[in-house]
Structures are given as structure tokens and as C-alpha cells.
């Protein structure tokens, strides 16, 4: 039995007062003791703001991403220690895999997206610049910068590692320090994962701190630069969100709370269609994975009325095979709930549901166990309810029994199915088992506004599908209404929750200097050295090559057409081209202009430019007729170092005619040696 320590101001700190016993969900033994009495929360906040924040903000997104990857690597290297602790939470090996390796995987993805999608800088540009003044001397540009406060992460008990890491990755990538408050009942697993991250030695001082229990004054010291990210019950979320300091200081509050997620067997399904079997398998799986203690679990399963009996029979066959007991014993497929208190809460909620729905599988109070004693642990049977009157049974749509509990219901038609899915008043996840794209579209139009994520599962995707209940780091996790109204993850979107978006206005030269990117209207410097002869480190933002002109002849156009096979009438048929409202007559191929542009700006000898790897934002603005001359300006727009050997250079390219009118514009991307 371990006494857990808080980690405050970079020091492992014991609580001074009474400690809370945390018991094994399997044996009932005390496995850890924890408390936070005597911990100075204000000092933790000050440390985060004054030490952790400045250190993280001094690192670029890429440096933070490398640090996050190192944290994930450290967790993976010591995952066995976490598995050894996790079984006492009631988790099976599979449940622990979701929590531990799923958590590390989430960090890996966050790190990788940070390196690929964010600049090697501390400012994040949001969208293109906005031209404001007619002469181009005054423009607008949105940017994100890191908040100067702390992120307070209040986590749920069900995934102590994943739940901590899915919030921590985006927070650290944003350059914001975190104070993590894990749920008490699984705090020993969270503490162990936290300790591994500290011992990895890659975090700057003050970047993360651990508070094992809430302190009474926790919200009193928060300010406008802090963010609270909460996962747990609606009751706690509402209490915390209504705190006067949260209201007065407009403290950002990201909430992810109760959710009565639905799954629908589409109206196109029959007992013989693959979607029927996939649906039955998924409902049973969602009921039993993590003993149903998943915020995304299927609580409400809807099927076409004519299939209700068939689905019920198939579900009962599957649920009958579930073996409940000690997850360390071979053959056990469902472990325990996290605590007897939680189990009692689920039983109470199940009794509420039973007022309006019939129990068709399981027993609220008893379960046959393998390798465990009912009196010791927090075990319960999977419970399948059924009601034939979903509109007359409010409780099944309103009461979240956070355990292996689900209710099967019929729907009349597609509109009824959509309305019933939305009756959950906002959820995290909706799954629809259909093979019909029109059904899928109708669901999106009718139900997407009520659900944070919709997953369609059919015969073609089933093997690769990540299933109904798995939030992914690249997709948003959160939902409207009852689900809390928050959003987490979603790749770079999740990072922005910890940053402030500001609109900048000013002269392009000034704003270019701010964002380390050349903006139209800012100075373009020219020199004697061709930009392709300069190494990555030598290229200055704004450095420009203005090329000589080249006349595009009719012979060029015909040669290009025959050579490539692109004999489209706009280039080859004068009469047909002239009849087209966009062209004065035959015009040069856009691809010919791009090729001539390259011919004008390229310096051919071997040098630091290693590869051209694409164009972005290509627009042909004005057609070029035979006999017209074009020229090119090539400007270094931005740079991002990729590794010690090379970096990406983004070039702003403008192809203009003799009157300096723009014919085509695009960004060219090259890899340049350091
Ligand atoms: P709670 O809302 O009780 O707890 C969630 C987190 O909030 C825990 O870390 C808890 O700490 C903390 N907390 C509680 N009170 C305060 C406070 N006054 N100040 C600061 N922090 C506080 O939810 P549980 O984890 O106990 O789960 C209960 C129910 O929540 C479930 O039955 C389920 O309905 C729902 N739930 C929903 C989830 C979702 O993602 N949608 C996930 C998990 C649960 P401590 O543990 O120390 O009390």
C-alpha cells in the first residue's frame, strides 16, 4: 500500500492532514492512500504561471512536440509498471491497453501533428491576411499566442492515463503549464504515469504539477489566462462552472460530462445484412469494455421496430458469453466497476431505468463471478433493458447509468430514429449502422447538431473501423448540451483551446516581422546571389528573385499540346475558345505557364535545393494569349526546419504579364539543405 504524493512546485509533497483510502475494485484491499491537505494551491498556480509558463513559451511548437514525443516514449518504456497497477481498478488487459497504450499513442499523434502542422515558432498564424487599405499599407492578420496562465485538468476515474494525456498533449503543445487533478479512485495509476513523465527529465520546471484532491480554494485564485478542463459528472461540472470566479474572470471552462450516446441500426438493415451483426457485436462490446464505464459507451440502442425481437435475441446470445470476474484470471472478459460506491450508484440508476423499461438480460443485484468474491469487489452483471415505448420512457434518455447498462428500443422510421437519437439532448458519440449513403446524409443533416462525433459502420469499413466508442486524437471529442458543450483533441484544434486568438492590424512590413512570414505588401529584398544558391539558414524572409520575361508563342502552345496530349479546345481551337466567356481566343495552358515559370526562376546546377514537393493555393487569375510576355517573382515566404539536415521553404510565386497584371499565383514548397 502506497501513500501517494502531490507534486507541487517541482517537489514531491506529502499531505499534512487525513488521507483517503483507495481500495482495489477486485479485492477490496486498500491499495493506496492519498490527500492534498496542507497543499498551497495558490503557490502551485503561481509556480505554473511564473516558472512553467515562461519556460514553455520560450520553446517553439516543434521543441514542445519533441518533448511530448519523449514523454510518450517514456510511458511506453515503463508501461509494464502501469499495467501492474491498473488491474486493481477493475480493468481487463484490453481495458488497460486502451488507457495506457492508447494514452501514449494519443501523445505520439499530438507530437507528430505539432511537428507537421505547426510552425517552428511560438506564434500560430490563423488563415490568410485580410487586405484592408486600398493601397495595401494596412492589413489584418489573425494569430494565436499561448495563454499566460495555467491549465487545471480535472480528470475522470475511468481512464486515469489516457484521460490525463489526451488533455496534457494539446496543453503542453500550446505552451501552457498544467496542474493535474486525477480522480481519487484511480489516482494511483495516474500518479504512476505522472511520475514516469517527471522522471523522463524532459519537462522544464513548473510544466506539470499534480494535486491529488481538490482544495477548498481551488477556484478562488483563477484568472482570465487560466483554463479549466473538466471530465466527469454533469453535477460536478455545473457546480464548478457556476463558481463566481469562473463567471467574473471569464475563465475558459472546457467540460466533457454525462452523455447518453445512441447507436442506430439503419432502416436498410435486415436480419441477414452484415450491418445487423456488426450492430449487435458493437452494442455488446460497448456495454462490457471497461465494464461500460466509458463516456462514449452506447446507452441507447435503436433498431427498426420489426427487428426488435431479432436484435434482442442476438444480443442476449452475445451477452451470455461475457465472463465477469477477476481480470487477472484467464477467460475473464469483463472486470469490475471502479469502486463499490460507483457500482451502487449504477445499480441505483438501473433501478430508475427499470421503472420504464423491462430488464431482458442480467440481474441488477447478482452476478456469477470467476476468480473473485462478490463481497470484496465492485462487480456487476451487464444489464440489457428494453422498452417498446421510447417516447413514453423519459428515464432511458435522461439517466446515465455509468456501467454495463444499455436499453434497446424500436423506432418507426428514419425521422423517428433521428428524433430519438437527439432526445439525449446532446451527446459525445452517435453510431449508425447503414449501407445506404442517403440514410447517412439524412442522419448528418438531422442529428449532427446534437452529437460531437458520428461514426458510420458498414460491411466495407468494419474491419478498419475504430468502433463507436473510441475518441481519436486527430478528431474532436466532446459534444453539445448534456455532454458539456466542450471540445477536446481534434488535432491542432485542441491546442487552440489553450491559446488566445487576436486580430492584428497594421502595415504589412510590421506584421511580417511579427509573424516571421512574408505578407503581400511587405518589402522584398533582392541581391546578387540566386536564392537557389543559398542554404536554408542563409535565406532571408522576403528575399526575392525577379526574373526576365519570356514571350509565350502559338508554337509553344501547340508544341506543349502535342507533347503532353493536352489538346483541349481552349488552346487549340480559336473559334471554340473565343465562344467561351472566359477566353479572348486560344490561350496558353495553365500548366505551360507553370513550366515556363520554373524555367525562368530555376538555377539548374546542383545546390542546396533538394526537392520540389508541391504547390499550394494555385490560382490562374488571368489567361495568357499567344504573343504575350510573362515574368515571375519568387519570394521566400516562410521557413520551417525539419531536422538537422534540411528544412521546408515556402515561396510566394507570382506570374505577371508585361503590364504587371497577375496571371497566376501559388505557394511553391521546396526542401532545402541546412
Ligand atoms: P465526478 O464529477 O464526481 O468527478 C470528476 C472529477 O472531478 C474527479 O477528479 C473529482 O475528484 C473531481 N471533483 C469532484 N468535486 C470537485 C470539486 N469540488 N472541485 C474540484 N474537483 C472536483 O465524477 P466521477 O468521476 O465520480 O464519476 C461520476 C459520474 O460522472 C459517473 O457516474 C458518470 O455519470 C460521469 N462521468 C462521465 C464521464 C464522461 O466523460 N462523460 C467520465 C466519467 C464519469 P475526486 O475523484 O477526488 O472526487
User: pLDDT per residue over 189-233, tens digit each?
Assistant: 999 999 999 999 999 999 999 999 999 899 999 999 999 999 999
pTM of this structure? 0.94
Q: Which residues make beta-bridge pairs with 443?
A: none
Same domain for 575 and 432:
no
Residue 494 lies in a domain: no
Across 654-668, average pLDDT: 98
Ligand 1 lined by 258 (C-beta under 6 Å): yes
pLDDT one-digit tens code per residue, 509-562: 999 999 999 999 999 999 999 999 999 999 999 999 999 999 999 999 999 999
Same domain for 250 and 272:
no
Distance between alpha carbon 456 and the CA centroid of its chain, in Å? 19
Place 1 in a pLDDT band, splitting at 50, 70 and 90: confident
- The closest residue, in CA terms, to atom 11 on ligand 1 is 183
Residue 350 lies in a domain: yes
- The closest residue, in CA terms, to atom 14 on ligand 1 is 236
pLDDT one-digit tens code per residue, 303-318: 999 999 999 999 999 9
Catalytic residue of the set 191, 282, 286, 295: 295
Residue 497 lies in a domain: no
Residue 490 lies in a domain: no
Q: How far is ligand 1, taken at its centre, from the CA of residue 158, in Å?
A: 10
What is the Rg, in whole angstroms, of the alpha carbon atoms belonging to the chain? 30
Q: How far is ligand 1, taken at its centre, from the CA of residue 156, in Å?
A: 5
Same domain for 624 and 478:
no
Q: Is 286 a catalytic residue?
A: no
Across 393-407, average pLDDT: 97
DSSP state letters, 47-98:
HIIIIIHHHHHTS-HHHHHHHHHHHHHHHHHTHHHHHHHHGGGT--HHHHHH
Residue 373 lies in a domain: yes
Place 643 in a pLDDT band, splitting at 50, 70 and 90: confident
Question: Whole domain around residue 538: which residue ranges?
Answer: 524-673
Cell, residue 569: 479546345
Q: Can you give the CATH number for the domain in which 116 is found?
A: 3.40.605.10
Nearest to 590 by CA among 622, 628, 617: 622
Nearest to 154 by CA among 171, 176, 179, 174: 179
Q: Can you give the CATH number for the domain in which 566 is found?
A: 3.10.129.10
Q: Is 256 a catalytic residue?
A: yes
Same domain for 217 and 112:
yes
Question: What pLDDT is recorded for position 72?
Answer: 98
**Alpha-carbon gap, residue 311 to 319, rounded angstroms:** 12
Residue 282 lies in a domain: yes
Question: What pLDDT is recorded for position 642?
Answer: 85
Q: How far is ligand 1, taken at its centre, from the CA of residue 234, in Å?
A: 8
Place 17 in a pLDDT band, splitting at 50, 70 and 90: confident
Question: What pLDDT is recorded for position 30?
Answer: 97
Across 360-370, average pLDDT: 96
Same domain for 207 and 298:
no
User: Ligand 1 test: best mutation among 210, 211, 236, 256, most atoms within 8 Å of CB?
Assistant: 236
Across 472-500, average pLDDT: 96
ipTM, interface predicted TM-score of the complex: 0.93
Across 264-277, average pLDDT: 97
Same domain for 237 and 277:
no
Please tell me the total count of domains within the chain: 3
Ligand 1 lined by 236 (C-beta under 6 Å): yes
pLDDT one-digit tens code per residue, 97-133: 999 999 999 999 999 999 999 999 999 999 999 999 8
Ligand 1 atom closest to residue 483's alpha carbon, by position in its atom list: 41
Last residue of a domain, one of 220, 255, 290: 255
Average pLDDT of every residue of the chain: 97
Last residue of a domain, one of 239, 255, 271: 255
User: Ligand 1 test: best mutation among 185, 233, 296, 479, most atoms within 8 Å of CB?
Assistant: 233
- The closest residue, in CA terms, to atom 17 on ligand 1 is 214
Across 1-27, average pLDDT: 94
Question: What pLDDT is recorded for position 641?
Answer: 86
Same domain for 66 and 135:
yes
- The closest residue, in CA terms, to atom 30 on ligand 1 is 233
Amino acid at each position: 500500500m502506497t501513500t501517494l504524493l502531490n507534486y507541487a512546485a517541482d517537489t514531491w509533497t506529502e499531505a499534512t492532514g487525513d488521507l483517503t483510502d483507495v481500495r482495489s475494485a477486485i479485492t477490496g484491499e486498500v491499495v493506496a492512500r492519498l490527500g492534498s491537505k496542507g497543499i498551497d494551491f495558490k503557490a502551485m498556480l503561481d509556480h505554473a504561471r511564473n516558472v512553467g509558463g515562461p519556460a514553455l513559451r520560450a520553446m517553439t511548437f516543434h521543441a514542445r512536440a519533441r518533448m511530448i514525443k519523449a514523454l510518450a516514449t517514456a510511458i511506453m518504456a515503463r508501461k509494464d509498471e502501469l499495467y501492474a497497477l491498473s488491474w486493481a481498478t477493475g480493468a481487463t488487459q484490453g481495458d488497460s491497453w486502451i488507457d495506457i497504450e492508447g494514452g501514449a499513442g494519443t501523445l505520439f499523434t499530438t507530437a507528430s501533428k505539432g511537428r507537421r502542422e505547426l510552425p517552428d515558432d511560438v506564434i500560430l498564424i490563423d488563415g490568410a491576411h485580410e487586405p484592408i487599405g486600398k493601397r495595401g499599407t494596412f492589413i489584418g492578420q489573425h494569430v494565436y499566442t499561448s495563454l499566460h496562465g495555467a491549465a487545471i485538468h480535472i480528470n475522470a476515474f475511468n481512464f486515469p492515463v489516457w484521460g490525463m494525456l489526451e488533455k496534457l498533449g494539446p496543453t503542453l503543445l500550446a505552451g501552457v503549464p498544467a496542474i493535474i487533478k486525477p480522480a481519487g479512485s484511480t489516482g494511483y495509476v495516474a500518479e504512476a504515469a505522472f511520475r514516469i513523465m517527471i522522471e523522463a527529465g524532459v519537462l522544464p520546471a513548473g510544466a506539470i504539477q499534480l494535486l491529488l484532491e481538490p482544495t477548498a480554494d481551488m477556484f478562488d485564485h483563477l484568472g482570465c489566462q487560466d483554463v479549466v478542463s473538466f471530465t466527469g459528472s454533469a453535477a460536478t461540472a455545473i457546480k464548478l462552472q457556476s463558481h463566481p470566479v469562473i463567471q467574473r474572470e471569464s475563465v475558459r471552462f472546457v467540460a466533457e460530462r454525462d452523455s447518453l450516446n445512441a447507436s442506430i441500426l439503419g432502416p436498410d438493415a435486415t436480419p441477414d445484412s452484415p450491418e445487423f451483426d456488426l450492430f449487435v457485436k458493437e452494442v455488446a462490446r460497448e456495454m462490457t469494455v471497461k465494464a461500460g464505464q466509458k463516456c462514449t459507451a452506447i446507452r441507447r440502442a435503436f433498431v427498426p421496430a420489426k427487428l426488435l425481437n431479432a436484435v434482442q435475441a442476438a444480443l442476449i446470445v452475445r451477452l451470455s458469453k461475457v465472463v465477469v470476474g477477476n481480470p487477472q484470471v484467464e477467460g475473464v472478459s469483463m472486470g469490475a466497476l471502479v469502486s463499490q460506491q460507483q457500482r451502487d450508484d449504477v445499480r441505483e440508476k438501473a433501478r430508475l431505468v427499470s421503472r420504464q423499461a423491462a430488464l431482458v438480460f442480467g440481474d441488477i443485484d447478482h452476478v456469477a463471478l470467476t476468480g473473485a468474491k462478490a463481497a470484496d469487489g465492485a462487480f456487476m452483471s451487464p444489464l440489457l433493458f428494453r422498452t417498446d415505448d421510447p417516447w413514453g420512457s423519459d428515464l432511458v434518455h435522461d439517466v446515465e447509468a455509468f456501467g454495463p447498462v444499455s436499453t434497446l428500443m424500436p423506432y418507426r422510421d428514419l425521422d423517428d430514429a433521428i428524433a430519438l437519437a437527439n432526445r439525449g439532448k446532446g451527446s459525445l458519440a452517435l453510431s449508425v449502422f447503414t449501407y445506404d449513403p442517403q440514410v447517412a446524409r439524412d442522419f448528418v443533416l438531422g442529428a449532427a447538431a446534437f452529437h460531437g462525433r458520428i461514426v458510420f459502420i458498414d460491411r466495407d469499413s468494419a474491419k478498419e473501423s475504430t468502433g463507436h466508442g473510441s475518441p481519436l486524437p486527430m478528431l474532436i471529442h466532446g459534444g453539445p448540451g448534456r455532454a458539456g458543450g466542450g471540445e477536446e483533441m481534434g488535432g491542432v484544434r485542441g491546442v487552440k483551446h489553450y491559446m488566445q486568438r487576436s486580430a492584428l492590424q497594421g502595415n504589412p512590413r510590421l506584421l511580417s516581422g511579427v509573424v516571421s512570414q512574408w505578407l503581400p505588401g511587405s518589402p522584398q529584398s533582392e541581391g546578387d546571389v540566386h536564392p537557389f544558391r543559398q542554404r536554408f539558414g542563409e535565406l532571408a524572409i522576403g528575399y526575392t528573385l525577379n526574373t526576365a520575361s519570356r514571350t509565350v508563342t502559338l508554337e509553344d502552345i501547340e508544341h506543349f499540346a502535342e507533347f503532353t496530349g493536352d489538346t483541349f479546345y481552349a488552346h487549340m481551337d480559336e473559334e471554340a475558345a473565343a465562344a467561351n466567356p472566359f477566353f479572348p481566343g486560344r490561350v496558353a495552358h495553365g500548366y505551360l505557364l507553370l513550366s515556363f515559370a520554373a524555367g525562368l526562376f530555376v538555377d539548374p546546377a546542383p545546390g542546396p535545393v533538394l526537392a520540389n514537393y508541391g504547390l499550394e493555393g494555385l490560382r490562374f487569375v488571368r489567361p495568357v494569349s499567344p504573343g504575350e510576355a510573362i515574368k515571375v517573382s519568387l519570394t521566400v515566404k516562410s521557413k520551417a526546419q525539419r531536422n538537422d539536415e534540411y528544412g521546408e521553404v515556402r515561396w510566394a510565386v507570382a506570374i505577371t504579364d508585361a503590364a504587371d497584371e497577375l496571371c497566376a499565383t501559388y505557394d511553391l514548397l521546396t526542401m532545402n539543405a541546412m
